[in-house]
């Protein structure tokens, strides 16, 4: 006897449908993200194609069998042998199929169905196929293993790409350092007259720098107000308000397009303000170069950055770049190291713990052993031959400014700094100011009225490739 349970068959159909939905809901978003990242998705496509075949091939067949089982269940009739399913002949294209059953009438009016057993070969082949076939769970394990491999390959690709990007960035940094060093040396050698001119009028450059920065902040504040106001007016459609504020805002349509048109005008003013601020920073850099506290390489590196930001600000891009530039420079050093901000050559010096009120001078940092040890650890023990040559009167790189008679004197100052023989006085910007009574250098700044001024005050510039520069002997912290 054969009895088909339509409820069980329907449950099988529901399980297959749930499997299809689970594959689509869980894997489709993941495949889309992998495609956006450029990760190969061949295994993922195979899994999703299985879900499609379940939907197009398996489920329609199950639906037909479920419907047939329900029809047969409705035709059940009772008898001495219980509920028996009658055989329903379905006409095919070649007539009804042959009846494989032997029908034997019973005494109570029911009919018993019997059929011959399948050949031994068929039954044995079916048994072996059942034993050797893998469950569907194994198939899913294989698919998910392929998926895991694809994800791992994608992650490896991202890591390799990032490593290549870092290497490229390092190569560009080395190239930029070498290029600015060569061009900076040329600037120091060929633009001596310009440097002396700036040195004689350094106070004017400082005043203009401060004026540009102050005026730039005023324009920036006005640009912020103008951007917000015109964006609101543009979003409202302008009309009467546009006529009051002018510049044609009332002619633009309302909504997003109007807000964008209004904000564009304010952003141009904002960009002009940041451009003026960048010009002020550039004038400060030029003044440092004229004083002799920086060399041509620093002028080229910092000056080119400020000029680029000023030009970009005029077209709107530099506004955000200048803001980011100021924010990054304002971050603590440990944060700068993590986010890749501009490295500082020397760790910042702490404020003196006990100021000397009677003299007005800060307490020597040599009294703080921990801080001085940190400074010494950050600075290389050998001077940079090329950079130091700009401050050695006999070197070919020398182009004016403060100088030593010999590079050995500069190395002696650095050695005394590391040994503790030189006293750490304080900080000038990012540079360490020291006093070494055993070495004499010359502070050469004719524009300020100090030609060949003997001094034992020096500042150490840089950490990886340091140089030592003689400085004003009257300097105080």
Per the model's pLDDT, the better-predicted residue between 333 and 297 turns out to be 297
Residues 257-312 have pLDDT tens digits of: 666 766 777 778 888 888 888 888 888 888 888 877 788 778 887 888 778 877 77
Q: How far apart are the C-alpha atoms of 45 and 32, rounded to whole Å?
A: 11
**What's the pLDDT score for residue 266?**
73
Per the model's pLDDT, the better-predicted residue between 410 and 366 turns out to be 410
What percent of the chain stands above pLDDT 70?
74
Q: How many CB atoms lie within 10 A of CB 148?
A: 11
Q: How far apart are the C-alpha atoms of 427 and 460, rounded to whole Å?
A: 10
Asked if 367 contacts 379 with a C-beta cutoff of 8 angstroms, the reply is: no
Give the CA distances from residue 469 to residues 222, 298, 423, 476, in Å, rounded to whole numbers and listed in that order: 43, 14, 15, 16
**What's the pLDDT score for residue 2?**
53
Rank 7-11, 178-182, 227-231, 289-293 by mean pLDDT and report only the highest: 7-11
Name the band, by pLDDT with cuts 50, 70 and 90, for residue 422: very high
Residue 1 has pLDDT above 50, yes or no: no
Average pLDDT over residues 308-337: 57
Residues 211-249 have pLDDT tens digits of: 988 988 888 888 888 878 877 776 766 544 544 454 444
**What's the pLDDT score for residue 457?**
94
Rank 96-100, 219-223, 229-233, 316-320 by mean pLDDT and report only the highest: 219-223
Single pTM value for the model = 0.35
Q: How far apart are the C-alpha atoms of 107 and 62, rounded to whole Å?
A: 37
Residue 340 has pLDDT above 70, yes or no: no
Q: How far apart are the C-alpha atoms of 441 and 422, rounded to whole Å?
A: 14
Rank 9-18, 385-394, 403-412 by mean pLDDT and report only the highest: 403-412
Question: How confident is the prediction for the chain on average, in pLDDT?
Answer: 75
Asked if 417 contacts 460 with a C-beta cutoff of 8 angstroms, the reply is: yes
Q: How far apart are the C-alpha atoms of 252 and 307, rounded to whole Å?
A: 34
**What's the pLDDT score for residue 39?**
81
Q: Could you tell me what percentage of the chain is helix, strand and coil, using 3-state DSSP and rounding each to the nearest 5?
A: 60, 10, 30
Q: How far apart are the C-alpha atoms of 384 and 477, rounded to whole Å?
A: 26
């Amino acid at each position: 006897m054969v009895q088909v349970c339509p409820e069980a068959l329907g449950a099988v159909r529901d399980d297959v449908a749930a499997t299809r939905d689970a594959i689509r809901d869980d894997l489709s978003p993941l495949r889309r993200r992998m495609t956006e990242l450029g990760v190969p998705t061949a295994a993922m496509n195979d899994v999703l194609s299985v879900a499609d075949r379940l939907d197009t091939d398996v489920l329609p067949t199950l639906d037909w069998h479920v419907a047939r089982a329900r029809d047969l269940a409705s035709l059940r009739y009772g008898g001495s042998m219980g509920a028996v399913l009658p055989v329903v002949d379905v006409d095919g294209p070649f007539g009804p199929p042959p009846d494989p059953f032997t029908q034997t009438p019973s005494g109570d009016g029911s009919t018993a169905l019997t059929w011959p057993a399948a050949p031994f070969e068929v039954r044995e082949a079916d048994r072996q196929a059942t034993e050797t076939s893998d469950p569907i769970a194994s198939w899913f394990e294989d698919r998910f293993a392929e998926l895991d491999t694809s994800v791992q390959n994608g992650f490896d690709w991202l890591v390799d790409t990032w490593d290549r990007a870092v290497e490229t960035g390092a190569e560009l940094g080395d190239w930029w350092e070498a290029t600015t060093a060569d061009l900076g040396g040329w600037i120091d050698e060929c633009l001596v007259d310009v440097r002396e001119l700036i040195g004689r009028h350094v106070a004017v450059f400082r005043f203009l720098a401060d004026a540009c920065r102050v005026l730039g902040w005023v324009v920036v504040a006005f640009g912020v107000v103008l951007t917000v106001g015109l964006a609101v007016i543009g979003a409202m459609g302008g009309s009467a308000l546009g006529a009051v504020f002018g510049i044609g805002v009332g002619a633009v349509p309302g909504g997003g397009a109007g807000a964008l048109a209004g904000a564009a005008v304010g952003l141009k003013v904002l960009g002009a303000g940041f451009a003026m601020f960048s010009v002020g920073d550039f004038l400060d850099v030029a003044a440092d170069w004229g004083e002799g506290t920086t060399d041509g390489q620093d002028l080229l590196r910092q000056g080119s950055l400020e000029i680029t930001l000023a030009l970009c600000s005029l077209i709107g891009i530099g506004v955000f770049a200048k803001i980011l530039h100021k924010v990054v420079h304002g971050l603590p050093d440990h944060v700068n190291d993590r986010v890749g901000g501009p490295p500082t050559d020397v760790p910042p010096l702490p404020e003196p713990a006990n100021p000397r009120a009677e003299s007005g001078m800060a307490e020597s940092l040599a009294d703080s052993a921990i801080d001085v040890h940190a400074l010494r650890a950050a600075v290389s023990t050998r001077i940079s031959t090329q950079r130091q040559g700009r401050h050695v009167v006999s070197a070919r790189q020398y182009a004016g400014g403060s100088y030593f008679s010999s590079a050995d004197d500069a190395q002696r100052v650095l050695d005394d700094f590391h040994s503790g023989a030189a006293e750490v006085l304080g900080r000038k910007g990012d540079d360490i100011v020291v006093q070494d009574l055993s070495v004499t250098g010359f502070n050469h700044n004719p524009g300020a009225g100090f030609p060949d001024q003997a001094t034992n005050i020096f500042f150490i510039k840089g950490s990886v490739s340091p140089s030592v520069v003689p400085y004003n002997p009257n300097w105080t912290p």
